[in-house]
Structures are given as C-alpha cells and as structure tokens.
C-alpha cells in the first residue's frame, strides 16, 4: 500500500506560513542620490519573518548597496472560514 504524503508547500501553509512580499529601497555606492527598489515574494512566518531576516543579514554582509528602508506585506494562505449552520432545509413536492 502506498503511503500518502502531503505536499510540502501545503504542509508549510498548515504550519502557519503565508505569502510575504518585501520591498527593499536601497542606494548603490556609485549613485548615492538614486534610490532603487527590489521586490521579493516568498513564503515566511509572520510576525518573526525568519527567512526575510536571513536575507537582510546576507544583504548587509555581502552586498555593497545600503538599505534605505524595507516594507513588508504578508497574507496568510490558510485561515478559518465562516461557517453557517442551517436549521431548516425545507421540502420539495
């Protein structure tokens, strides 16, 4: 008998991951007057954002561009849904 394994992305959703979009505004050393933008969309855990923090740590260590600001948007992919109970179903003749 085959064992069924849940899709890893679906399992992440059940574990609380949601879609996160980060907008990073930064300046390059050779053009400090020019503000540039980088958008990145990925799965992460709110409110701690461990994946985003790792990325920003990497940026600070490895990339010469100086971060001006970071804007984060997050939406959970699985949330409780509204449930309505039906008391009377009615009859058809």
Domain boundaries, the chain: 8-76
Mean pLDDT of the chain: 86
pLDDT of residue 79: 63
- In the predicted model, residues of the chain with pLDDT beneath 70 are 1-3, 79-93
For residue 3, the 8-state DSSP code is P
Q: How many CA atoms lie within 13 A of 46 on its CB side?
A: 13
pLDDT of residue 93: 59
pLDDT of residue 76: 83
Q: Give the whole-number percent of the chain exceeding pLDDT 90.
A: 58
Phi, psi of 59 (to 5 degrees): -60, -50
Q: Which residue has the tokens 């980060």?
A: 22
Q: In the chain, where do the E strands start and end? A: 18-28, 31-44, 66-76
């Amino acid at each position: 008998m085959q064992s069924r394994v849940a899709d890893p992305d679906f399992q992440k959703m059940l574990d609380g991951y949601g879609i996160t979009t980060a907008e990073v505004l930064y300046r390059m050393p050779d053009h400090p007057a020019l503000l540039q933008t980088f958008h990145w969309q990925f799965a992460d855990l709110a409110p701690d954002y461990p994946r985003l923090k790792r990325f920003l740590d990497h940026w600070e260590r490895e990339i010469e561009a100086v971060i001006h600001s970071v804007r984060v948007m997050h939406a959970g992919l699985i949330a409780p849904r509204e449930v309505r109970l039906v008391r009377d179903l009615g009859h058809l003749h």
